[in-house]
Each structure stands twice: as C-alpha cells, then as structure tokens.
Amino acid sequence: MGSLAFARELRRATSCGLPPWGVVRMMLELLIALCLVGAFAVFVLPDEYAPKAAFGISLVPLVLSLYMYLTFDGVGNALLGGDIAFESQYQWLTLGSYDVSWFMGLDGISMPLVVLATLLTTLAILASWTPIDMRQSQFYGLMLFMEASLIGVFGALDFLIWFVFWEAVLVPMYFLIGIWGGARRKYAAIKFFVYTNIASIVMFVGFFGLVFGLGDSISSLALPEIAQALRAGELGSLGAFGPEQLALLAFLAMFVGFAVKVPVVPFHTWLPDAHVEAPTPASVMLAGVLLKMGTYALLRYNFTMLPTIARDLAVPIAALGVLSILYGAMLALAQSDLKRIVAYSSVSSMGYVTLGLVAYTMYGTGGATFQMVSHGLISGLLFACVGVIYNTTHTRMVGDMSGLAEKMPVTAGSFIVGAFAYMGLPLMAGFAAEFFVFVGSFDAHFAYSTVLTALAMFGIVIVAGYLLWSMQRTLFGPFRSETDYDVTTASLHDVAPLLVLLVCIIALGTFPYDLAFERVLDATEPILDTTVAAVGGGS
Amino acid sequence: MAESLAFEFAPAIAVLPFVSFLVALLAGRYLPKKGAIAGMVATGGSLLLSAWTLFAVHTGHAYQQTLYTWVGGELVDFELTFGILLDPLSTLMLVIVSTIAFLVHMFSLGYMNDDGQTGLPRYYAELGLFTASMLGFVFADNLLMAFMFFELVGLCSYLLIGFWFREAGPPSAAKKAFLVTRFGDYFFLIGVVGVFATFGTSMFGGPGVDDSFVHVAEQALVGEASVNTFGFEPQTWFTILGLLVLGGVMGKSAQFPFHTWLPDAMEGPTPVSALIHAATMVAAGVYLVARMYGFYALSPTALAIIALVGGFTALFAATMAVVKREIKQVLAYSTISQYGYIMLALGGGGYVAGVFHLTTHAFFKALLFLGAGSVIIAMHHNENMWDMGGLKEKMPVTYYAFLSGSLALAGIVPFSGFWSKDEVLYETLVHGLGGSPILLAAYAMGLIAVFFTGFYTVRMVLLTFHGEPRSETAADPEPVRWNVKLPLAVLGVLAAVAGVINLVPVHAVVSAVPEILHDWLYHGPTGLNGEHYHELITNDAFAGYTSGELLGLGETGTLFASAGISLALAVAGSLLALVLYRGPDPAEHTDKLGALKPVLFNNYYQDEYQVWLAEGATVRVARLADRFDRGIIDGLVNFVSSLSLFSGDRLRRVQTGIVTNYAALLTLGLTLLLVAFGVMQGWFV
Amino acid sequence: MAVPVQYYLVFSTLVFCIGLFGVLTRRNALFFLMSVELMLNAANINLVAFSFYHGNLTGQVFSLFTMALAAAEVAIGIGIILVLYRNFADVDVTSATTLRW
C-alpha cells in the first residue's frame, strides 16, 4: 500500500471517531487562527516568557499540520478540478460582478509547503532563543504572525484572500529585518519591501488583465474557476489587446512579479542584502519558505493558468533558470561572508525550480515542486548553522575563523552534511530533487533542452567548489578566531533544529516518493495535460 | 535452495557495515577499541556473506532483485529503483572489497588505536560508511543506484582524507579530491540522465531483466529496437553517452587528466589509502566500465579512447613515480599507473584481463600500502624514503610481505601481477595487430610503462629496506604488533599466488591447467558474461575488433612473445634500479635527469594548471561577476531608488512650510481653475 | 420685499476676499485665524442665502453645523497658537517651518 493510500485509510479511520468532520474541514482555518491568537498572546507577554511560549504555541500548528499531512486525502490539482483536501468555501462579498469567497484548501503541491512553513517556523523560533536578546515578545509575535500568513498563502484558493496573505507576509519580515537586523538593516528592509511590493503590483495588474479579459465567463475570483476558464480558452480581448496578446502580456507581468520573489536573475539583488542583514532565524524563514512563495505562485498562476504561453516562452524561461543557476553559483563563489554565500546559492538552487517547471514533464514539474521543499529544508539548515556559528564567534566572514570543527563538532557536522546535501549528494533531499529536475528537463519539449540541462548540471560542480572552500576555511585547519568571543560548544536548543532538519533531509532523500513525491505528482500531473478537453470536467 | 538463501541474505553485505557505521557514530566512544571491533565484525560478516554468494553464483546462477522502489507508481514515466545484481563479476568484487575492508579494519587497530589517535569513533564510522557504500555500489543493478553509491563513496573519501582536520594539509587535499572527482561526476550525471532519457531504464541486466539499457542499445544498433537518440546516429549517441559516463570513471579511477587528486589524497591515514585509494574506491571507476562493458563494446570509438587514456596514464604516472621521495607518493603514482593498465585492458577488448588485473592489483596494492603503513608506524610518521634504509632486518614480516607485493607490482614471474599485466598487454596487442593502430599506440605506452614500473618498484624497496639506516628512527624503528603483521601476511600470500586464477600462458601449453577466472566470467548470465562481450567486441556492427598475430608466430607464439617482452622490460627496469640504488648508502641519481628533473618533480605541472583553472580563472570570473552584479544589476536597482529619492527631494521643495504660501497657491489654483472653466464655457466671449 | 440673493452673494464675496486678503498678508497667527473665520462665515452667508432663496432649510441646518465646527476649529487653532508661542516666543506663522518635511 502506498503512503497516499495509507493516508486515505487513516483519514477514514480517524474521522469517524475523534475530530468531528466539520472541524476537520476547517483545519486550515484552525491553523491560521491558532497562529494569530498565539501571535497576539506572545505579543503581550513579558519578554522573558516569550521565547518558550512562542515555541510551545508553534508546536501546535506543527503537530496539526503533520496530522493533516498524514491524513491528507486530496486528489489531483486544486485548480484543475481535483478533489481539494481541507476545503472550505464561504461567500464573503461581491465586487462588481465577481463574488469573493473565503476559499481555502490544499492539494499535493500546497500540503508539503504548509508543513514546511510550520516546521521551519518552529525551528526558527528555537534558533532565535540565543541570538534574539531584545524585544523578544514582539519578535516571536511577528514570527507567529508570519506563520499564519504563510499558511494562508499556500492555502488560499481565492485570489483576493490569497493576495491579502501574500502581502501580509511582507509586513512581519519587514519588521524582522528592520528591527533585529544588522548594520544596514534599514536599507535592506526597505529594499526588500519596496522591491517585492512593486513586483506584487505588476503581478496584480497582469492578473486583473486576465480577469477582465475573461469577462462574463467567470463569476468569482476563485482561482480554480479562473484557471479552468483560461485553460478552456475563454480569454477574450481587452481594450486594444486581442486574447493572445493579453495572455502574453499578463503572463509576462505575472512572471516578472513572481520572479522577483523567487528570485530569478536579474531580479535577485534584494536577496543577498536582506539575508545578510536579517537576523538568522528570519533568514531561515526567508530562504526556507518565503522564496517558495514565488515559485509556488509561478506554478499556480503562470504555469497552470497559461500553459500555452509558458510552453511558447520555454526557451527564454529555461535560459533564465540556467542563468540563475550558473550566475548565482559564480556569485556565491566570489563571497567571503558565509550568509552571502548561502544567499547566492539560494538564487542558484531556485534556478532548478524554474528549469523544472518550464519542462512540463512529469519529473520536471514534480521535481521542481519537490525541490521547493528540499531547498527549504537544506537552505534552512545551512542558515541555521551559520547562525549557530555566528552566535558564538560573532563573525560570519570566512577569513575570520578556522578550525571550528574542534570546538563545535555537532554544528560542524551538521554544516558538512547540509553542505553535501546542497551539493546534491545522493540519499539526501537535494539530490532527489535535482535529479528529478534534470531527468525531467533533459528531453523536454523545448529547443536546446538537452544543452540547457547539461549546462544547469554544471551548477553541482560550482556549488561543491564554494561550499568545500568555505568549509575548509572555517571548519577545518588549526583553530583560530579573529574575534574576542569565547568559542564554545552550542547548547542543545541551538543544535536541535539542525538535527531535526538533517533527519528530514536524509529521510526525504531516501524515501522521496513515499514521503512527498507521490502527493506532489498527483497534483502536478493534471497541469501537464494541456489539451482543452481534459480540463472542462472539473468546473 | 542454499543459493537462494545466500541471495536472500545478500543485502546484508552492505547493511552490516552500515550498522557498524551507526554503532561507531552513536556509541563508538563507549566501546572498547572505539568501534574497530564492530567494524571488523561487520566487514567479517560481509566477507562471509560475499563468499557465500560467490559460491551460490558458482553453483547456481546469477540473481537480480529489485529491493526498493525509490520512485515508482502509476503516475511515473519510468521507475527509479534500488536492487542487487549478483553475477560472477559483482560477487568477485564483493569478495575483494570485503576482504580488504576486513583486513584494513584489523590493520587500523595497529595504525590508529595503538598510536593513541583521537577521533577514532569518527574514523571507524566513516570507514564503515565507506565500506557500506562501496559494497552497495558493487552490487547495484542499475546505473542510477551505482551513481548514487559512487557519490557516497566520494563523500566518505572526502571525510577520510580530511580525517586529520586540525592540520592544514588534509582538508585541502580532501577538497581537491572531491572537486576533481566531482568534475568527472558531472559528466557521469549527464550520462545517467541521458541514459534515462534515451532508454527509460538504467538496468544493467541480469536474469529476468530483458530491457536493460545495454541490451536495448545493442538491439538499436542492429535495428531491432528504436530509441530517442537526440538527432544523432545511434552509435554516435551511444558513444557520447559512454564517454559521459567515462568522465566519472576517469575521475574516480584517477585517469589523466583527473589523476591529480590521488597523490594529494595520501594526506589521509595510510589504512584509508590502502582501502580507498588503492584497492576499492579507485577501482570503482574501472569496475563501472566492466559492469556496463556490453555498452562500451558497442562503440569502437569509446573503447579506443578508454584504451588510449589508460595506456597514456599508465606511462605518464609511472614516469612521475620514478623520482618521488615519499613512499606513499610512489605508491600513489603506481596506483594511477596500474589503473591505467586496467583501462587499457578494457579498452583493448580484454574484459577478462581487466578484471584479472583489477583483482590482483587490489591485493598487491592494498598490501603495499599496508606495508608502507607498517613502515610509517616504525618511522614515527616519517614518509621520506631517504630517511629509511636497513629496515629489512628490523621488520622481516613487513619486508617479505612488501617484497611479495613489489614483485607482483613490477610484474616478475611468478607473482600475481606478472600474469595479469601480461594478459592485459597481450589482449591489447592482439587486437591492435588485428588492425587498430590506436590500440597499438596504447599498447606501446603500456609496454614502456612496464620498464618504469620495475624501476620505481625496486628503487622503493631498496631505499626503504636495504642499505644502512639513514636516520635514527630507521636504526631503531617502532615495533609493530600482530594486528599489523597478520593483514600483511595474508595479503602477502595473496599477492604472490593470486595469479593462479588465470594462468593463460600455462593453459596454452598444458590445457589441464584451468583458466579459472576466464571460465568464471564466461559463465555469467545472458548478456552479462565474458562470452557475450567477446562476441560484441568481434562483431563488425559494434566494436569490430579482430585478433592479429605477431610476426606470424601463431596465437600461442604471440602469447609467449608478448609475455617475454614485458617480462624482459620489467626485469631490465628492476636491474637498472638494482644497479643504481644498491649498496649501503645509495646516492640520489635524479640530477642526471637534467631538465627533466623539475618537470618530473612537479608532476608535469598538471597541478599548476588545474589549480589555476579552479582558483585563478574561476575565481577571477566569479569576482568579475560579483562586480557586475553589484555595479550593474544592483546598481540599476539602486539607481531607480535614488532617482525617485532625488526627484522626491526636488519636488518637496514646493512645501516651504510658510502657511501664507500655501494659501496663495490655493487661491492661485482656484483662480486658474475658474478662469479655465470660464474659457471652456465661453464666459469671456 | 426680500433682498435679492445677488446682494448676499456680493456681500459674502466681499467678506471672503477680506478673509483671503488677511490670510495672504498677515503673519500673526491670531489674525490668520480670524481671517479664516471670516472666510468660513462667507460660506455660511452663502448657505443661508441660498437656503432662503430655495425655501429649503437644509442650508441653514448646515450653517449651524459649520458654526459648531468653526468653534471647535478655533479652539484647536488657539491651542496650536499657544503651543506656537511657547515654542517660538512668537505667533508669527512664517517662523514655524520645521515640520514641512
């Protein structure tokens, strides 16, 4: 019995007993509400209780989301007429001729990302105990608020609701960077906020171009309805633009809007600044979950709603993906700040997602989605490691330290394993994801797919170059630290997140299909079927 | 019945060392000997199980079983699986690997534990993980699984080379080893992905596997199957795929130009060098070629390149070994050279010869490294041969074992290396004479390398063990215990007699003497046995090799002539070394090399250009990219923001802060608005 | 006989202009406030006049609201002036320009 079948079995077994069906239906809302109430509670709590309270509170959504993951019974893609899990839809208001409803639900693409968000939030909160020493209650309150917004982004199926959550994520991150950040925190926070916000506006315009172009064929802003109408070819003309022009322009606008979030080269420059200045737990969240919002939205909007345009533009998009991989890796090679290295390598790794998405093959699209989860865990792990090192050495410059492996063996060990996971070592999540992407894109439908994939693979050599180099300099050799701080072994609550992530990465790399890939494929497979007839049934 | 039980237990061959890895990692510090016992028990168990499967394959038949479906199910285009393939080749290799792993664990007791090293649990954990990965690689039944364990083996190599991480050298060497092999693995990965894209499977074959990629490729060439060849001729595309996979092979087996990491890898503990960098991991590359030999046999181009690379590496590395001062450096270059021979054999159509040399080399090179380790213990970790001398009387067990290994390496009859090296050269020669000048060139290089091999081997033995002690430690060496001597003795015997498994020249005269290995490899499963490979090699649709004869001597005559030439050259090289370095106080003769001396000492400047490529060129490009990124791309972003800041700054000057001005502006605006309305409404007309 | 509505308008225009003149020329905050008050009252006059003209009481009701608002505004205005005086020892509106950016 596959794990998905097992989940359905478990769901049937548990739903008749303990949790009433109605509550189970509202699970997502329950998650968000718990985070929001928790955020408020932590916000008003005295500083000394905030860290532990926030950790305790964040465990509840984590456990709940894991339960949801185990009992997940969605079938197919939520936007393309699949059977949505944890679905709830309530009419809210009417804007013009469009109904807006509170429409939430999960499928195999969003479910793993929700778990990723809850898991990384809990671990990031744990990783904040040591470094965050001022305004704790506000810090942890914002973290929980961000968790609520992130769950909302992955769970919302109505455009307006989704957009509210999408923008709401920016607010806590802005404050996390701006208040608890490093020396240039204001610059970084404003750059992050303004850059991504402008991108949101561009995306918003593009999307509403589509909505108005669809005219009377849709009656609500529910994403499934819009997606199915678009795939059924009901896009009309808008103003001077014919349907094809409109679709192209909307695609470009949304692509640029989401590409900033991913980030795709050349829209990436906010990322290193934000990462370097952000406190480490915020970096964990930023790299681990926030970047995935961009690729998630690309998949949900561009690649699901406008597949023909995506296929037409495959070569330039794939080229951008490859450019991100190689250029991002080269930039990482030139850095000497550990956080900048990991930040640029995130740019590089997210390039694999772009490449996989545009391939429109089973392994490509599924692998890209898998890479979102895998990169979330791996980059989270590396940032957390850098954070633990920074906690005790108070420097992140490669040249300022060496031989840390002797003083902090567990942290160093985690860093090494994390780095190898980043390099795509087999039996770890990174290899599985990258291999799926490569296999998927090698003979994809577009021209030069073979050459582009072969080029993209060279990323695994460069990534080995800069990670091995930085490990050799910082972890190995005779012990030396240029700062005056006493380098000591990290405490248990510092290394616990590292170990949890390690276990997740290895488990996901060894059992990718049973743990996640099956669910992912179930949801990505309908996207590939671009024939019009196959889509109509769901609406 | 018994064989099926052996096959049922076969996965435990790799699982046992993995368990010892976990034990050493989690509980090593609480154990006596810090995990060495667990490692020995595990590898010993692996050895027994491997021997059992070898026996089972001998009496029964080959076995293939998919154990775990990594990715599968109804939605998946093609499945990715883990499975085991037990056939003559893989079981033979399993026995070799587990034997040497077991002996190295035992040797480590003397080399590491008795030396009072710290970090032993880590050492034994990494050793266990390595053994598990290597064994997993050996019995992998598909290319993807092989690739995955290939990479894991590389990780363990990285960790073990960098075992002494507190010093500066080992971490750097570890990084280099991983990077260079990773560069090769890049091509390998493209090859794996390409194989999947072309055939939809990466199974090697075996009983019950009809659609292995090797078999489908063969059918595609004769027109019985069609596959997506990406716009190339099928044979061209298969050659490309084979060469891509060969990239990984050349990286791991340290073939030119990816050989540079191996000498540096000698920074690791000597038992590690024996296990990983002599007998097993380095063998993984050539083993892979043997494993998918049916695929390479389809392409004469790929085979020619393999042979050429092998022959050139054999000669190239042997010349560098001639001048080295450190005992482990000599062995490192000789390892590169010997793997060149194995490549030469495989490329030259000598599948059995390649596997034969792989087997004998594994034993005698592990022996030489362990012997060197024993010497290094005795010399208190001084590896310079010019500080040694006269150790023969002080450590007789080590000396005689080392001598056995050296004679095997030099190719002196009747030690094992003679038989295997002779067969390598013979196979290449006959196929070269059959009309392939490339093979003849490769053969010539391999033949010249025999001379150098004899020379540096004997030089090494003389400098280390003979003459007068040239330092105080050499005069009073540290004694070694049973745990060092026993592995040496076992391997010493093996190195001397392992040749009996394939006494080809003897068989040619007395046909009652069996060619055990030849028969063994020929009775493998359909499509995976030597006989089939021989058919492929000689088929014109594929490699199209033909056998020739030397000067009309006939088959047997050519065989003996070839053996005679190589033996003569080996003896000549040995005698030259004997003449030069004999006596109580031998002199360095390197000055006689003249202008060649710095070139050889600097390894033909291979490291220099590779370091320049990795550091000079790449880092410079990276810096340039960084400057471009910060200057142009981020500059553009900042320009947009400063543009808006600047224009905002100018515009805000309208706000004077004087209320009167605002009132005046308001009034003016209202008046202008009124006038405008008036004009538009035509009030003033 | 009722006074024609034009007369009220002319009158309110005059009052408005006087107020405007005051706002534009005076620097003393008190005069400023008084001038604003004049302008407001000009609007009130208009409201009442049109209310009378149309025979509709809404305008007058509105002017009552405006007067109440004006009173509140004066209270705030005088408060501001007091703070201004406390900070600048003067009630010159041109001296307090630091809040502009």
On whether the CB atoms of residues A275 and A382 are closer than 8 A, the answer is no
Q: Hey, are the CB atoms on A477 and B168 less than 8 Å from each other? A: yes
Q: Hey, are the CB atoms on B657 and C24 less than 8 Å from each other? A: no
Q: Does position A129 have pLDDT exceeding 90, yes or no?
A: yes
Judged by a CB distance cut-off of 8 A, whether residue C16 touches chain B is no
Judged by a CB distance cut-off of 8 A, whether residue A507 touches chain B is no
Helix (H) or strand (E) holding B83: strand B80-86
Q: Hey, are the CB atoms on C32 and B667 less than 8 Å from each other? A: no
User: What is the rounded distance in angstroms from the CA atom of residue C14 to the CA atom of residue C75?
Assistant: 26
CA distance B659 to chain C (A): 7
Number of domains in chain C: 1
A27-53 average pLDDT score: 93
First and final C-alpha spacing in chain A? 31
CA distance A311 to chain B (A): 20
User: Pick from B652, B657, B667: which is nearest to C98 by CB?
Assistant: B657
The per-residue pLDDT for range A241-273, each reduced to its tens digit, is: 899 999 999 999 999 999 999 999 899 999 999
pLDDT of residue B588: 79
The per-residue pLDDT for range B246-280, each reduced to its tens digit, is: 999 999 999 988 999 999 999 889 999 999 888 88
Judged by a CB distance cut-off of 8 A, whether residue A478 touches chain B is yes
pLDDT of residue A96: 83
Q: Which residue in chain A is spatially nearest to B173 when comparing CA positions?
A: A472
Token reading at B403? 């001598």
Judged by a CB distance cut-off of 8 A, whether residue B658 touches chain C is yes
On whether the CB atoms of residues A489 and A130 are closer than 8 A, the answer is no
How far from the centroid of its chain's Cα atoms is residue B360's Cα? 17
Token reading at C94? 């041109």
User: What is the rounded distance in angstroms from the CA atom of residue B572 to the CA atom of residue B579?
Assistant: 10
Mean pLDDT over each residue of chain A, to the nearest integer: 90
The answer to the question of residue C24 being in a domain is: yes
pLDDT of residue A20: 44
Q: Which residues of B touch C32 (CB under 8 A)?
A: 659
Q: Which residues of B touch A266 (CB under 8 A)?
A: 633
Judged by a CB distance cut-off of 8 A, whether residue C101 touches chain B is yes
On whether the CB atoms of residues A76 and A227 are closer than 8 A, the answer is no
Q: Please report, for residues A30, A129, A266, B62, the alpha-carbon distance to residue A41 in angstroms, rounded to integers and kept in the order given.
A: 16, 18, 41, 66
Around Cβ B500, how many Cβ atoms within 10 Å?
A: 15
User: Pick from B70, B614, B629: which is nearest to A513 by CB?
Assistant: B70
As a residue count, chain C comes to 101
Q: Which residue in chain B is spatially nearest to C100 when comparing CA positions?
A: B657
pLDDT of residue B11: 92
The per-residue pLDDT for range B299-354, each reduced to its tens digit, is: 999 999 999 999 999 999 999 998 888 899 999 999 999 999 999 999 998 899 99
The answer to the question of residue C99 being in a domain is: no
Cα torsion at A446, A450, A455, A459 (round to 10°)? 90
Q: Do chains A and B touch (3 or more CB pairs under 8 A)?
A: yes
Phi, psi of B465 (to 5 degrees): -110, -25
Query: How is A145-170 classified by DSSP, letter by letter?
Result: HHHHHHHHHHHB-BHHHHHHHHHHHH
On whether the CB atoms of residues A176 and A139 are closer than 8 A, the answer is yes
The per-residue pLDDT for range B91-106, each reduced to its tens digit, is: 999 999 999 999 999 9
pLDDT of residue B1: 54
Q: Hey, are the CB atoms on B70 and A512 less than 8 Å from each other? A: yes
Counting residues of chain A whose pLDDT is more than 70, the rounded percentage is 94
Q: Hey, are the CB atoms on C27 and B660 less than 8 Å from each other? A: yes
CA distance B144 to chain A (A): 10
Counting residues of chain A whose pLDDT is more than 90, the rounded percentage is 73
Q: Which residues of B touch C100 (CB under 8 A)?
A: 652, 655-657
Q: Hey, are the CB atoms on C101 and B655 less than 8 Å from each other? A: yes
Q: Which domain holds residue C12?
A: 5-88
What is the band of A507 on the pLDDT scale with cuts at 50, 70, 90? Answer: very high
Q: Hey, are the CB atoms on B652 and C101 less than 8 Å from each other? A: yes
Q: Which residues of B touch A525 (CB under 8 A)?
A: 75
User: What is the rounded distance in angstroms from the CA atom of residue A84 to the CA atom of residue A90?
Assistant: 15
Judged by a CB distance cut-off of 8 A, whether residue B172 touches chain A is yes
Which regions of chain B are under pLDDT 50?
Answer: none
CA distance C78 to chain B (A): 16
Contacts of residue B428, defined as CB under 8 A and 6 or more positions apart, other chains included, come to: B307, B311, B344, B345, B347, B348, B349, B350, B439, B442, B443, B446
| Peptide bond preceding B257 in cis form (omega within 30 of 0) | yes
How many pairs of residues across B and C have Cβ atoms under 8 Å apart? 30
| Peptide bond preceding B414 in cis form (omega within 30 of 0) | yes
The answer to the question of residue C101 being in a domain is: no
User: Pick from B69, B623, B629: which is nearest to A269 by CB?
Assistant: B629
DSSP, res B652: G
Cα torsion at B414, B420, B422, B428 (round to 10°)? 170
pLDDT of residue A321: 95
Q: Hey, are the CB atoms on A194 and B168 less than 8 Å from each other? A: no
Amino acid at B390: G
Q: Hey, are the CB atoms on B228 and A454 less than 8 Å from each other? A: no
Q: Does position A536 have pLDDT exceeding 50, yes or no?
A: no
**pTM given for the model:** 0.90
User: What is the rounded distance in angstroms from the CA atom of residue B549 to the CA atom of residue B431?
Assistant: 9
pLDDT of residue A399: 85
Q: Do chains C and A touch (3 or more CB pairs under 8 A)?
A: no
CA distance A371 to chain B (A): 15
DSSP, res A489: P
Judged by a CB distance cut-off of 8 A, whether residue B657 touches chain C is yes
Q: Which residue in chain A is spatially nearest to B640 when comparing CA positions?
A: A195
Q: Hey, are the CB atoms on B165 and A475 less than 8 Å from each other? A: yes
Q: Hey, are the CB atoms on B658 and C24 less than 8 Å from each other? A: no
User: Pick from C24, C25, C100: which is nearest to B657 by CB?
Assistant: C100
Amino acid at B586: P
Neighboring chains of B (3 or more beta-carbon pairs < 8 A): A, C
The b-or-e profile of A192-207 (16+ CB within 10 A means b, else e) is bbbbbeebbebbbebb
**Which CATH number goes with the domain that contains C14?**
1.10.287.3510
CA distance A224 to chain B (A): 22
Q: Hey, are the CB atoms on C94 and B659 less than 8 Å from each other? A: yes
Judged by a CB distance cut-off of 8 A, whether residue B189 touches chain A is yes
User: Pick from A269, A331, A423: which is nearest to B625 by CB?
Assistant: A331
User: Pick from C23, C96, C100: which is nearest to B663 by CB?
Assistant: C23
pLDDT of residue A205: 95
Judged by a CB distance cut-off of 8 A, whether residue A425 touches chain B is yes
Q: Please report, for residues B16, B142, B216, B499, the alpha-carbon distance to residue B54 in angstroms, rounded to integers and kept in the order given.
A: 18, 20, 28, 19
User: Pick from B71, B147, B190: which is nearest to A513 by CB?
Assistant: B71
The answer to the question of residue C93 being in a domain is: no
Q: Does position A308 have pLDDT exceeding 60, yes or no?
A: yes
Q: Does position A81 have pLDDT exceeding 80, yes or no?
A: yes
Q: Hey, are the CB atoms on A460 and B72 less than 8 Å from each other? A: no
Query: How is A58-113 classified by DSSP, letter by letter?
Result: HHHHHHHHHHHHHT---BS-GGGT-B-EEEEEEEEEEETTEEEEEEEEE-TTHHHH
Domain boundaries, chain A: 313-539
pLDDT of residue A381: 95
Selected for mutation to probe chain B from A270, A415, A467, A468 (highest B CB count within 10 Å) is A468
User: What is the rounded distance in angstroms from the CA atom of residue A92 to the CA atom of residue B582?
Assistant: 98
Judged by a CB distance cut-off of 8 A, whether residue A423 touches chain B is yes
Selected for mutation to probe chain C from B655, B656, B658, B661 (highest C CB count within 10 Å) is B658
CA angle C28, C33, C38 (to 5 degrees): 125
What is the band of A299 on the pLDDT scale with cuts at 50, 70, 90? Answer: very high
Q: Please report, for residues A459, A461, A467, C96, the alpha-carbon distance to residue A452 in angstroms, rounded to integers and kept in the order given.
A: 12, 15, 24, 65
Judged by a CB distance cut-off of 8 A, whether residue B511 touches chain C is no
The per-residue pLDDT for range C37-66, each reduced to its tens digit, is: 999 999 999 999 999 889 889 999 999 999
Q: Does position A533 have pLDDT exceeding 80, yes or no?
A: no
Amino acid at A495: V
User: Pick from A330, A362, A420: which is nearest to B621 by CB?
Assistant: A330
State the angle between helix axes of A50-70 and A110-128 in degrees (0 to 180), rounded to the nearest 10. Answer: 160
User: What is the rounded distance in angstroms from the CA atom of residue B596 to the CA atom of residue B344?
Assistant: 26
Could you say which residues from 582 to 611 on chain B have a Cβ atom under 8 Å away from some Cβ of chain A? none
Which regions of chain C are under pLDDT 50?
Answer: none
- Residue matched to tokens 């860290």: A51
